[in-house]
Structure 1
Amino acid sequence: MDRLDCEILRLLQKDATQSVADIAEQIGLSTTPCWRRIQSLEKQGIIDKRVVLLNPEKIGLSMTVFVQVKAAKHDSDWLKKFADHATNIEQIVEFYRMSGEYDYMLKVVVADMQAFDVFYKKLVGGIDLSDVTSSFAMEQIKYTTALPV
């Protein structure tokens, strides 16, 4: 990746709806070479996908909760079962296996405390967990999906 590729990525991360002509003009290329670069970045898997980002509050999802989970077991069967269980819960928007005291970190988006309670019962239902703790986000200071390139 060179400087032009990085600039294309920065522009697309800000607004993926920009036309190739607009991107090309901003970086000083003609449309065809710019389009070839974008296609190459997609083929290399650097551009993974293009999505629309929603405003959670505008669609009634104003509560963000970070849930930490300690595994009940550490064998591969339990790990697979928990991963399958958690990935099928739509309120979980991010899911990480962690180092440290807790084994997993989940980012959960729900409407309110009642919706979180429904989510929590679904999370702990049918799976053996050692410990679950939740932290409620009071204010979002920074949020971006743009990676530093």
Structure 2
Amino acid sequence: MNKLDTALLNILIKDARTSFADIARQLNVSRAYARARVQALVEEGIIEQFTAVVNPEKVGKTISTFIDLKVNPQSIEQVAEELAALPEVVSLYIMTDLRSLHIHTLTDSYDTFDAFAKAHIFGRPEVISVECNALLKRVKHRRGGARL
């Protein structure tokens, strides 16, 4: 990757629907070159997918909750996979201590979140501890992905 590729990726991170012609204009390259570089970045696995960023509040998901679970290390992969498959889970990370999961959920109400927690977290013998905080206010977010 070079500086041009980084600039191209930042354009696509901001708006994955940017046309090859617009990318070419912004980078001062040909449309064919812009298309070829995007295709190469896809083939190299640098670009994993093109996706839409949905505003959760507009679809009724107003409760954004962050959960930190401590899990028995021998069960962390299994618990992570099971929780990641649930529709309420937006993102899930295994942390460096190899016994912590950091989870972000979106639900339409506190009652729905409570039902999720009761059904999928509480009472699991693999779970050692739970810390949970609901989002109060967004100050900065990385909508559209990380900047390079």
TM-score (norm: length of structure 2): 0.90
Q: Tell me the CA shift for residue 125 of structure 1.
A: 5.6
4+ long deviations beyond 3 Å:
none
Matches within 5 A, 1:37-56: 37-56=37-56
**RMSD of the TM alignment (CA)?**
1.8
User: Match of 1:105?
Assistant: 102
Q: Tell me the CA shift for residue 70 of structure 1.
A: 1.3
Gaps of 5+ in 2: none
1:27 has 2:24 as partner: no
Gaps of 5+ in 1: none
User: Contact 2:95 / 2:101 at 8 angstroms: preserved in 1?
Assistant: yes
1:83 has 2:86 as partner: no
Secondary structure of the corresponding residue to residue 141 of structure 1? coil
1:124 has 2:125 as partner: no
Give me the identity figure in percent: 27
C-alpha distance after superposition, 1:79-108 (max 9, x if no partner) = 2331232122111111111246x7111011
Q: Distance in 2 between matches of 1:80 and 1:11?
A: 35
Q: How many residues align?
A: 146
Q: Distance in 1 between matches of 2:137 and 2:50?
A: 27
TM-score (norm: length of structure 1): 0.89
1:92 has 2:89 as partner: yes
Q: Tell me the CA shift for residue 147 of structure 1.
A: 2.0
Q: Tell me the CA shift for residue 126 of structure 1.
A: 6.6
Q: Distance in 1 between matches of 2:65 and 2:78?
A: 22
User: Contact 1:70 / 1:131 at 8 angstroms: preserved in 2?
Assistant: yes
